[in-house]
Structure 1
Amino acid sequence: MRKQIVAGNWKMNKTAEEAVALTSEIVNMVADEVTGSVEVVLCVPFIYLPALQRYVGGRISVGAQNCHQKASGAYTGEISAPMLKSLSVPYVILGHSERRQYFGETDALLAEKVDIALANGLKPIFCCGESLEQRQNEDYLAIIRDQVTNSLFHLPAEQFGQVVIAYEPIWAIGTGLTASADQAQEVHAAIRSHIASKYGAEVADNTTIQYGGSVNAANAAELFACPDVDGGLVGGASLKSRDFVDIIKAIR
Structure 2
Amino acid sequence: MVQTMYTLCMRRPLICANWKMHLPPAGWDAKDSPYRPEAGIDVVVFPPHGYIKHCIDAKLTVGGQCARPETAGAFTGDMSMAMLKELGCTYVLCGHSERRKYHSETDDFAAEQVIAALEAGLHPIVCVGEQKKDRDIGKAEHIVEQQLSLLKNYHQSITIAYEPIWAIGTGLNALPDDAQEVHAFMRRLLLEDIRTSVRIIYGGSVTGMNAKDFLSHPDIDGLLVGSCSLEPKHFHEIINAANTLS
Same fold (TM over 0.5): yes
CA distance in 2, matches of 1:212, 1:92: 15
1:7 and 1:188, CA in 2 relative to 1: closer, same or farther beyond 3 A? same
Q: Which position in structure 2 is the counterpart of 1:11?
A: 20
CA distance in 2, matches of 1:148, 1:168: 13
Query: What one-letter code is carried by the residue in structure 2 that aligns with 1:68?
Result: R
Q: Identify which of 44, 48, 52 aligns with 1:49.
A: 52
Q: Which position in structure 2 is the counterpart of 1:34?
A: 38
CA distance in 1, matches of 2:189, 2:37: 34
Query: What one-letter code is carried by the residue in structure 1 that aligns with 2:39?
Result: T
State the 1:162 CA deviation. Answer: 2.5
Q: Deviations for 1:3-53, whole angstroms, at most 9, x for unmatched residues?
A: 210001111111xxxx2744224x5144888113x1000101111111111
Gaps in structure 1 of 5+ consecutive residues = none
Q: Deviations for 1:185-225, whole angstroms, at most 9, x for unmatched residues?
A: 00000010011xxxx22312101110000000000001000
Q: Which position in structure 1 is the counterpart of 2:146?
A: 146
Matches within 5 A, 1:151-230: 152-155=151-154, 160-195=155-190, 200-230=191-221
Secondary structure of 1:40 counterpart: strand
Q: Which position in structure 1 is the counterpart of 2:3?
A: none
Query: What one-letter code is carried by the residue in structure 1 that aligns with 2:153?
Result: H
Contact (CA 8 Å) 2:19, 2:230: kept in 1 or not? yes
Contact (CA 8 Å) 2:201, 2:224: kept in 1 or not? yes
Q: Which position in structure 1 is the counterpart of 2:123?
A: 123
Gaps in structure 2 of 5+ consecutive residues = 1-9
CA distance in 2, matches of 1:62, 1:22: 16
CA distance in 2, matches of 1:107, 1:32: 32
Q: Which position in structure 2 is the counterpart of 1:62?
A: 62
Matches within 5 A, 1:234-245: 234-245=225-236
Q: Identify which of 21, 26, 29 aligns with 1:24.
A: 29
TM-score, normalised on structure 2? Answer: 0.91
Query: What one-letter code is carried by the residue in structure 1 that aligns with 2:147?
Result: Q
Secondary structure of 1:69 counterpart: coil
CA distance in 1, matches of 2:125, 2:222: 12
Root-mean-square deviation (CA, aligned residues, Å) is 1.6
State the 1:134 CA deviation. Answer: 0.5
CA distance in 1, matches of 2:238, 2:223: 9
TM-score, normalised on structure 1? Answer: 0.89
Q: Identify which of 2, 10, 29 aligns with 2:11.
A: 2
Identity %: 41
Secondary structure of 2:205 counterpart: coil
1:48 and 1:205, CA in 2 relative to 1: closer, same or farther beyond 3 A? same
State the 1:161 CA deviation. Answer: 2.4
CA distance in 2, matches of 1:226, 1:79: 36
Count of residue pairs the alignment pairs up: 234
CA distance in 2, matches of 1:53, 1:88: 6
Secondary structure of 2:184 counterpart: helix
CA distance in 2, matches of 1:220, 1:142: 26
Contact (CA 8 Å) 2:11, 2:198: kept in 1 or not? yes
Contact (CA 8 Å) 1:66, 1:93: kept in 2 or not? yes
State the 1:249 CA deviation. Answer: 1.0
Contact (CA 8 Å) 2:160, 2:201: kept in 1 or not? yes
